[in-house]
């Protein structure tokens, strides 16, 4: 019998025992499988596949960040997208809630970095310029 659980959200949002369990499993699996953190960016084809799999809201956030890949402050992003807040405690209409579908599909791209980065200290989202160009290309193709 195999049981699969999908936990969405930031690890620190879960009770301490779950945090410890997840940390031990992820560390052990990565060591056992010899996996490293993502070292490559998603290609345009991979981003198109990701686009088909994630929520419309998540894609909208990626497009918005792609317009300012050097840094988009969370407060400005919340305002631009009319989101309810940053974290899941603000509900599914929060930035984290909207982005959760991306985290769910990133394991399909082993060795690849997520399309966005968030600096928790400064609350800025950023994106590699190549990824930003690819996302905007995809978005422009869809609008034609």
Residue 6 belongs to some domain of the structure: no
Checking if the pLDDT of 27 tops 50, the result is: no
| pLDDT surpasses 90 at 138 | yes
Q: What is the pLDDT of residue 24?
A: 65
139: in domain: yes
Of the two residues 25 and 54, the one the predictor is more confident about is 54
Residue from 84, 82, 89 nearest 14 by CA:
89
The pTM is what? Answer: 0.69
pLDDT interval class at 96 (50, 70, 90):
confident
Per-residue CA distances from 5 to 38, 83, 107 (Å):
23, 27, 14
What pLDDT is attached to residue 104? Answer: 86
**Is 138 within 8 Å of 51 (Cβ atoms)?**
yes
Structure tokens belonging to residue 114: 């997520």
Q: Is the dihedral of CA 55, 78, 9, 69 positive or negative?
A: positive
d(CA 26, CA 36): 11
- Looking up residue 131, the CATH number of its domain turns out to be 1.10.10
Residue 57 CA to residue 81 CA, distance in Å, equals 9
Report the pLDDT value the prediction gives residue 103, as an integer from 0 to 100: 86
Say if 127 falls within a structural domain.
yes
What is the number of structural domains in the chain?
A: 1
**pLDDT at position 97 over 80:** no
Q: Which of 27-31, 92-96, 107-111 is most confident?
A: 107-111
Assigned domain for 30 exists:
no
By residue range, what is the domain housing residue 120? 41-143
Residue 13 maps to a domain:
no
4 in any annotated domain: no
Nearest residue to 4 via CA among 112, 104, 115: 104
Is residue 102 in some structural domain? Answer: yes
Q: End-to-end alpha-carbon separation of the chain, Å? A: 48
């Amino acid at each position: 019998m195999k049981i699969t659980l999908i936990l969405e959200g930031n690890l620190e949002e879960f009770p301490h025992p779950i945090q410890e369990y997840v940390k031990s499993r992820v560390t052990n699996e990565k060591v056992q499988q010899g996996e490293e953190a993502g070292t490559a960016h998603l290609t345009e084809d991979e981003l198109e596949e990701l686009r088909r799999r994630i929520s419309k809201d998540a894609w909208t956030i990626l497009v918005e960040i792609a317009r300012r890949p050097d840094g988009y402050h969370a407060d400005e992003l919340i305002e631009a997208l009319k989101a309810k807040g940053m974290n899941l405690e603000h509900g599914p209409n929060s930035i984290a809630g909207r982005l959760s579908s991306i985290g769910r599909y990133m394991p399909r791209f082993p060795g690849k970095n997520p399309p966005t980065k968030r600096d928790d200290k400064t609350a800025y989202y950023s994106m590699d310029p190549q990824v930003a160009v690819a996302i905007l290309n995809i978005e422009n193709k869809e609008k034609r």
